[in-house]
Amino acid sequence: MDKRILITGGAGFIGSHLADELLSAGYRVRALDSLVPQVHEQRVRPSYLDESVELMVGDVRSPEAVARALDGVDAVVHLAAQVGVGQSMYQIADYTSTNVVGTATLLEALIKQPVERLVVASSMSIYGEGLYRAGDGRAVHDAERSIAGLSNGIWELQDQDGALLEPIPTPETKAPALSSVYALTKFDQERLCLMTGQAYRIPTVAARFFNVYGPRQALSNPYTGVLAIFAARLLNRRPPVIYEDGEQRRDFVSVYDVARALRLALKAPDAAGRAFNIGSGQSASVRDIASRLAAVLDANDIAPEITGNYRVGDIRHCFADISLARTVLGYQPQMTLEAGLMELAGWLSGQSAADRVDDAHAELTARGLTV
């Protein structure tokens, strides 16, 4: 196979794993990455990036950088984005510029230099709350929590009569409910790509990632994935900080499974024009994840700190229904959470991390973004 794939954000956590996956499948890989300090503290090519990857350092908002990166490529996987719900609520211009303007810049370049396929990274955050079921069996697509209830520690979602709603797997048909700036920008990225792809006949696929974890995640970034944030705390012998009561449920998916799903999305014939959930199809509570990570790191003596606070933009439960990805992409998760945590622990044993969680929490509190 002699096809060249461009990965925007290709020097990052997911991008570097995707590069490995594509190289092993016989593709050539080019990465466009701005090496932002929050992820790449030294702003140099990361040692984990395969030497076969052609790295171009540049900003996805730069038409010149994007045009150079697109020269001679057959397909694009667009991962470049600012990530993190909390930070997005006060770095509004930066998130909007990177995620939305960056995507628009890429699309304008693709109109001039079309490719065989575009795959864009979307996010489970666009759903807001996941899908729920009422006591009468009815699916509830628009469940949400009130600030008044959250201020009184009412974490679970209820119907109009105060009866608890049951969280169930969320399918792609669930309507978006954008509860953070980050979620809004990811929805913009998804829709811009699918819309432009249809208009200019560029086959386009959106992959809605759930909570991705694995080696190479930026441990010193306090706005990255929850497992990496917990790991940074535990490596510094400090307790993981958990909002609410820790019983909120998420879908934790291995980065290896995500990379495989993206490779499948590049070639699945019936995928174009559609969005797919990319998760494990399983759920776990945040409190349970903290305990399990502590166990594999031999840190059972460090109990998590349950704050009882709510962070603006957070949702209660959301985990993936992955049946569509199974059917259309041929996607099947292969890494169990147990195996994934053990592998993560092995990688973490050789890592150090600057713990900036307290600074991030103080920033959110000072801005009134915790309740």
Q: Which of 132, 182, 310, 331 is catalytic?
A: 182
Query: Which two structure tokens, joined as six digits, stand for 57?
Result: 């350092």
* DSSP notation for 139-204: EESS----HHHHHTT--S-B-TTSPBPEEEPBPTTSPP---SHHHHHHHHHHHHHHHHHHHTT--E
CA 38, CA 48: separation in Å to the nearest integer?
17
**CA-wise closest residue to 284 among 240, 208, 336:** 336
CA 14, CA 82: separation in Å to the nearest integer?
13
CA 257, CA 212: separation in Å to the nearest integer?
9
**CA-wise closest residue to 290 among 213, 351, 223:** 213
Strand pairing report for 75-78 and 54-57? unpaired
The alpha carbon of residue 147 and the mean position of all alpha carbons in its chain are separated, in whole angstroms, by 26
Across the beta sheet with 166-168, the strand order is 139-140, 131-133, 166-168
Q: Could you confirm whether 223 is annotated as catalytic?
A: no
Which ranges of the chain would DSSP assign to H, the alpha helix?
A: 13-24, 63-70, 85-88, 92-95, 102-112, 147-151, 181-199, 226-235, 255-267, 286-296, 323-329, 337-348, 357-366
The alpha carbon of residue 130 and the mean position of all alpha carbons in its chain are separated, in whole angstroms, by 15
Q: Catalytic residues, which ones?
A: 182
